Amino acid sequence: MDVDSVIQSTVDAAGLKYEKKGPGRYFVTLPGTKKLQTNCWLIAGEHAFMVEAFVCRRPDEKHEDVYRFLLRRNAKLYGVAYTVDEMGDIYLVGRISLDSVSEVELDKILGQVLEAADNDFNTLLELGFASSIRREWDWRVSRGESLANLSAFEHLVRSETDS
C-alpha cells in the first residue's frame, strides 16, 4: 500500500475529519477535551513523512518555564517533539522514514500528538498565560459572563486572592 493510501485509510478508520490537500498532503483535525481540537498536517514528502500540529501561540509570560516544560516533556514523547517557530508559537513535529509509515505507526503518532496537545494544553496556558487568564476571569465576573470554560483555571484566581 502506498503512503497516501495508508494515510487515508488510517484517518478514515479513526473517524477523523480531514481535507486532502494534494497527493500525500492531509490537514487532519484531532478532537480533544482540554484543547477542543488540534489541527495537524500529515505530509508524505519525497524522502520522509512529516507530521506538524499547532499546539499554542507564543506565551505571554514565563517563557523560560514554558520552554523548560516542553524540553522535559520531549523526553517522554513518541515520534514527535515540541518545537517553536520564528514567532515563538508552539508546535509538535515529527519525521519518519517513508518506509516506516504504516497504519499502526501512523495511529501511534496521531495518538501521541492528541495526547500531548490535549493533556499539556492547560499546563501551557497556566505557565504562559496566567495573567491573561486572571484578566479574562475578572472581566467576565464584572459583566456577569459565564466562567464555564475557565473553570479549570479557578485555582489561579483563588491563589491570587488568597495571598
At 61 the pLDDT is: 96
User: Is 5 within 8 Å of 100 (Cβ atoms)?
Assistant: no
pTM, full prediction = 0.89
Considering the segment(s) 3-129 as one domain, its CATH architecture is 2-Layer Sandwich (3.30)
Q: What is the pLDDT of residues 29-71, one digit of tens each?
A: 999 999 999 999 999 998 899 999 999 999 999 999 999 999 9
Using alpha carbons, select from 58, 82, 61, 54 the residue that is nearest to residue 128: 61
- Cell for 21? 490537500
- Domain limits, the chain: 3-129
What is the average pLDDT value for the chain, to the nearest integer? 92
Q: Where are the beta strands (DSSP E) in 3-47?
A: 17-22, 25-31, 37-44
At 122 the pLDDT is: 94
Question: What is the DSSP secondary-structure string of 3-15?
Answer: HHHHHHHHHHHTT
